[in-house]
Amino acid sequence: MDFIVQGFFQSIRLIASMDEETLNIVLTTLRLTGLSMLFILGIGLPLGFALGYFDFPGKHFFRTVADTLLALPTVVVGLLVYAFISRRGPLGDFELLFTIRGMAIGQVILGLPIVISYTATAIEGLDNRLRLTLQTLGASGAKLAVTSLWEGRFQILVAALTSYGRIIGEVGSAMMLGGNIKWHTRTITTAITLETGKGDFALGIALGIVLLAISFALNISLSFIRRRVGSS
């Protein structure tokens, strides 16, 4: 029980002293999740829009698939991607294994279904008159899509934050694809796994608190933006 209290105090010491290893772990985590979110949003928003906006045969099937992928276990994703990016795999020559880029592939697979599913819901939930109004105003194609996405922005923000929460907290994929290499691919979650495996539970708790602090800071700054941008 005392390791939880110890861990709490250790987390304050870690953040205050910002020792080199901890700093590297935090930066690696931010770089990885930043890269992943870029692709998750870049691919997920258009696909989510398309899934929500258009009617096509198999639409319900795709929707069900996207929702089912929300339950993908992280280590399974890690294994599947490993099969592709290992030297023996088809993408072996790209040297993605044990790099942040390789880890990002796994995280994109984990985060994409969340953004696609939630965005589709947001678009479907929009007032139908919006589409007609936009069309009478002369909007079409990309402009229509962007404006519709903008209208559903709060749900989409929730989708992005949920997706971010999933990828920053996952360990199965990051461990398999990154290898937890010190100074290079060690993220907060893989470091926690290592330290608890070595028996240093207090450090595990401390790093966990650091992760929550990052998430908290992100959420606070985004809710700030929400309030400023909300009224338009």
For residue 57, the minimal CB distance to another protein (Å) is 34
Of 38 and 65, which CB lies nearer to another protein in the complex structure?
Answer: 38
Residue with tokens 């319900």: 60
Helices marked H in the chain — which ranges?
2-17, 20-53, 59-68, 74-85, 100-124, 128-136, 141-151, 153-169, 172-178, 188-197, 201-230
Binding residue for another protein, selected from 2, 58, 87, 127, defined by CB under 8 A: 87
18 binds another protein (CB under 8 A): no
HSE-CB at 153 with a 13 A cutoff on CA atoms is: 13
Q: Which residues contact 195 (CB under 8 A, 6 or more apart)?
A: 201, 203, 204, 207
20 binds another protein (CB under 8 A): no
State which of positions 50-69 bind another protein (CB under 8 A): none
Q: Which residues contact 31 (CB under 8 A, 6 or more apart)?
A: 100
Angle separating helix axes 20-53 and 141-151, nearest 10 degrees: 120
> Is the Cβ–Cβ distance between 115 and 163 less than 8 Å?
yes
> Is the Cβ–Cβ distance between 163 and 39 less than 8 Å?
no
229 binds another protein (CB under 8 A): yes
State which of positions 134-153 bind another protein (CB under 8 A): 150
Q: What is the widest separation between alpha-carbon atoms in the chain?
A: 66
Of 87 and 129, which CB lies nearer to another protein in the complex structure?
Answer: 87
173 binds another protein (CB under 8 A): no
CA-CA distance, 5 to 150, in Å (whole number)?
Answer: 44
Binding residue for another protein, selected from 74, 117, 180, 189, defined by CB under 8 A: 180
Nearest to 168 by CA among 229, 211, 199, 104: 211
Binding residue for another protein, selected from 20, 61, 88, 142, defined by CB under 8 A: 88
For residue 20, the minimal CB distance to another protein (Å) is 13
How many chain residues interact with another protein (CB under 8 A)?
Answer: 33
Binding residue for another protein, selected from 199, 216, 217, 219, defined by CB under 8 A: 199
Stretch that binds another protein, among 56-64, 67-75, 110-118, 197-205 (CB under 8 A): 197-205
Residues that bind another protein (CB under 8 A): 27, 30-31, 34-35, 37-38, 86-88, 92-93, 97-101, 104, 150, 179-182, 184, 197-200, 225, 228-229, 231-232
